Amino acid sequence: MIQVKNLFKSFEDTQVLKGISATFEKGKTNLIIGKSGSGKTVFLKCILGIFEADQGDIIFERTPLSSMNLETRALLRQEIGMVFQGSALFDSMTVEENIMFPMKMFTNAPHEEIRDRANIVIDRVNLINANEKLPSEISGGMKKRVAIARAIVMNPKYLFCDEPNSGLDPKTAILIDNLVQEITQEYKITTVINTHDMNSVMEIGEKIVFLEDGLKQWEGNNQEIFKTDNEAITKFVYSSEMFKKIRKIYIEESE
């Protein structure tokens, strides 16, 4: 579980995060949603420790990030898997080398053992015949799968995904969402996903935190999002006529 308490972050004169508190639960897909510029990525990067928060704290299980020294933080980071928006695969390495990379860096396991573990996660994310290919030779959907495989190869406690299905076709996007949800439940990890994809919200939003202008405006799940009266979230989620109709049908059916 990750608890975020009263987080503030500014860049020069711009206040990006204005006191956000949230809890991300273990074994669930926790979504951070909000329109572009709402502070989602900065929020995620503060949790990851890439950006240092001006005020507030982030508590991993029971340990506040602020109380950790550099060594403890480095150890914590080995328990974190991250899927970046653009996949962030290492260009000079093959798919298999990318996935083996964290194990090569942080374990003393023999090469064969590392390769076996990499092949287990390669199978888990359904990557076929891609081991020897370079990132430039595979599709966007495959890159996301490689990024997910690399993120889970060390059996992380926490999985962070920054817009994991951006730039993908709807079918592949749903496959990636489902894969992340399955892995979350299977490995019992705390997954935090940054997204503005409404399909993801409806499909895998077991816990949703909605941000607007650096503030948390709403918190709930994909069932509650249909019933909420919160103006900010309804304006964001039901901005299209189609989603308005879906919401209407859902409310009528549930009544």
In whole angstroms, the minimum distance from the beta carbon of 82 to other proteins comes to 4
- Residues between 145 and 174 that touch other proteins (CB under 8 A): 160
How far apart CA 59 and CA 195 sit, in angstroms, is 22
List the interface residues with other proteins, window 39-78 (CB under 8 A).
Answer: 48, 50, 73-78
Among 15, 21, 23, 85, binds other proteins (CB under 8 A): 85
How many chain residues bind other proteins (CB under 8 A)? 23
Nearest by Cα to 99 from 68, 126, 75, 120: 120
Of the candidate residues 1, 15, 84, 222, the single one contacting other proteins (CB under 8 A):
84
Report the residue number, 50 or 242, with the smaller CB distance to other proteins: 50
90 binds other proteins (CB under 8 A): yes
Structure-token pair, residue 252: 């009528």
**Between the CA of residue 78 and those of 13, 107, 139, 151, 249, what are the distances in Å?**
33, 10, 28, 10, 45
8 Å CB contact between 143 and 167 = no
Residue 84 beta carbon to other proteins: minimum distance, rounded to whole angstroms:
5
Closer residue to other proteins, CB minimum distance, 13 or 91 = 91
Which one of 60-68, 80-88, 221-229, 230-238 is the stretch in contact with other proteins (CB under 8 A)?
80-88
Smallest distance, other proteins to C-beta of residue 238, A: 32
Q: Give the closest residue to 154 by CA, choosing from 100, 113, 87.
A: 100
Q: 202: which 2 tokens?
A: 């409806």
Residues that bind other proteins (CB under 8 A): 48, 50, 73-78, 80, 82, 84-86, 88-91, 101-102, 104-106, 160
